Every structure is written in C-alpha cells, then in structure tokens.
C-alpha cells in the first residue's frame, strides 16, 4: 500500500515538474518583453523628446526587469536541479 502511494506521489511530482518546465519560458520571457517594450517607449517618447511624462514608464520597466532577474534566475536554477534529481 505504501509503495503504491509512493509511486503515485512520484508520478504526480514528475508531472508537476513537467508543467513547471512548460510554463517557465512564459514566466521569464513575457516580463522581459514587456519591460523592453516599456523601455523602448520611454526612450522614444520620453528621452528623445525630453519629456518627463514618461519617467513612470521607465521606473515600471526597470522594476519589472530587475524583479524578473532577481526572482526568475533562482527559480530556473531550482527547476534545473529538480529535473536532474527526478531523472
């Protein structure tokens, strides 16, 4: 009975790791693209035209980019080590 539960738990964990691996690119790429679009918009409309109205866009893009780097890099490392452990 315990052996069957253990196998079932391992298969569920493997499915969860697989699901996380499918969503990981979206979790990393989408915030980077959004922050790059916001930075480009700030550069074109704010920096080039010397308008301070778009400084909030710059801050938002900067926060998204830094937050993405701070949290997603350890997340990807942990996924990679978990994938190596599970085989």
pLDDT per residue as tens digits for the range 26-84: 888 898 999 999 999 999 988 888 878 888 889 999 999 999 888 888 887 887 787 67
pTM (2 d.p.): 0.69
Burial 59-85 (b: 16+ CB within 10 A, else e): eebeebbeebeeebeeeeeeeeeeeee
Give the mean pLDDT of 13-33. Answer: 83
Residues found in the chain = 87
Q: Where are the domains of the chain?
A: 29-74
Q: Answer yes or no: is pLDDT of 87 > 70.
A: no
């Amino acid at each position: 009975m315990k052996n069957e539960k253990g196998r079932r738990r391992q298969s569920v964990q493997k499915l969860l790791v697989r699901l996380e691996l499918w969503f990981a690119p979206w979790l990393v790429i989408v915030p980077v693209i959004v922050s790059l679009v916001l930075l480009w918009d700030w550069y074109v409309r704010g920096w080039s035209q010397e308008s301070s109205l778009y400084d909030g866009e710059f801050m938002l893009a900067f926060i998204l980019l830094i937050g993405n780097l701070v949290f997603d890099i350890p997340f990807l490392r942990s996924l990679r080590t978990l994938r190596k452990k599970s085989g």
